[in-house]
C-alpha cells in the first residue's frame, strides 16, 4: 500500500534499572496501586514509568504521554498529603503531525467492531472501537471538542450502543445527546400514600 507519510510509534522502555533490588515491585514499570503508591509505603510513582491498574478497563497499563504524567503527578502529590484519591481518568494521548492533529482515547484490547465517522478526505474523521456494543476506544482527527468530551463519557460509563450505531456513523448526530448514566432514586419515609404509589423512581 502506497502512502505519503508513515509514522511508527513504538513506545518507550521505562528506566527502572536503578530500582532493582530496592524491594519496590517492578513489572513493565513501577507497580502502583489505585492511589499511585508503590508496595513500599510512602513511595509513589507517576507518568510514563508508572504501571497502574486502570479501573475503567480493568487492566494494568502504562500511558506514555506527558498529559498523563501531569495528571498523575498532581494526584500523587495530593495522596502524599493523605487524601487517598483514586486515579480513574479515561486515558488518552494527542499528537500534531504537520498540519493535522489527532487524539486517541481508551484501549483497543479485545475490540470486535469498528465504526467510522466523517471523512479522511475532508480531514475530519473519527474511528470508534467497540467491544460487545460498548465503546472502548476512539481515534478522532479534527472533530469538535464537544464530540471528544462525549466520547470520553461514553467510554467511562460503558454505555451500550447496540441501538445507536447508525448515529455513531452519522457525522451530524450529536453524541452528547446519548444518555450516559441511568439514575435510580430511592425515597425513604413519607406517608402511606407515597408508599402505595411506589417509592422507587427511575
CB 74 within 8 A of CB 85: no
- Checking if the pLDDT of 153 tops 50, the result is yes
CB 142 within 8 A of CB 123: yes
How buried is residue 141: exposed, middle or buried, by Cβ count under 10 Å (0-12/13-18/19+)? middle
How buried is residue 50: exposed, middle or buried, by Cβ count under 10 Å (0-12/13-18/19+)? buried
Distance CA 201, CA 199 (A): 7
Q: Using one digit for the tens of pLDDT, what is the confidence trace for 15-71? A: 999 999 999 999 999 999 999 999 999 999 999 999 999 988 888 999 888 888 999
**Entry pTM:** 0.76
Distance CA 193, CA 198 (A): 9
| Predicted local distance difference test score (pLDDT) of residue 190 | 56
Q: Which domains does the chain have, with CATH numbers?
A: 17-80 (3.50.50.60), 96-177 (3.30.390.30)
Amino acid at each position: 500500500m502506497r502512502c505519503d507519510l508513515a509514522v511508527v510509534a513504538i513506545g518507550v522502555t521505562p528506566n527502572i534499572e536503578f530500582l532493582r533490588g530496592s524491594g519496590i515491585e517492578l513489572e513493565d514499570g513501577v507497580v502502583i496501586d489505585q492511589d499511585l503508591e508503590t508496595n513500599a509505603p510512602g513511595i509513589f510513582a507517576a507518568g510514563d514509568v508508572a504501571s497502574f491498574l486502570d479501573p475503567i478497563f480493568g487492566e494494568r497499563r502504562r500511558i506514555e504521554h506527558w498529559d498523563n504524567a501531569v495528571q498523575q503527578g498532581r494526584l500523587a502529590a495530593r495522596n502524599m498529603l493523605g487524601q487517598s484519591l483514586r486515579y480513574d481518568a479515561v486515558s488518552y494521548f494527542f499528537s500534531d503531525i504537520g498540519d493535522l492533529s489527532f487524539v486517541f482515547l481508551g484501549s483497543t484490547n479485545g475490540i470486535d467492531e469498528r465504526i467510522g465517522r466523517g471523512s479522511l478526505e475532508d480531514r475530519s474523521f473519527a474511528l470508534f472501537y467497540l467491544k460487545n456494543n460498548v465503546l472502548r476506544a476512539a481515534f478522532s482527527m479534527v472533530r469538535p471538542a464537544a464530540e471528544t468530551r462525549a466520547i470520553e463519557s461514553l467510554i467511562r460509563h460503558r454505555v451500550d450502543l447496540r441501538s445507536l450505531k447508525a448515529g455513531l456513523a452519522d457525522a451530524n448526530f450529536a453524541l452528547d445527546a446519548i444518555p450516559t448514566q441511568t439514575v435510580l432514586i430511592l425515597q425513604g419515609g413519607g406517608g402511606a400514600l407515597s408508599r402505595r404509589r411506589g417509592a422507587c423512581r427511575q
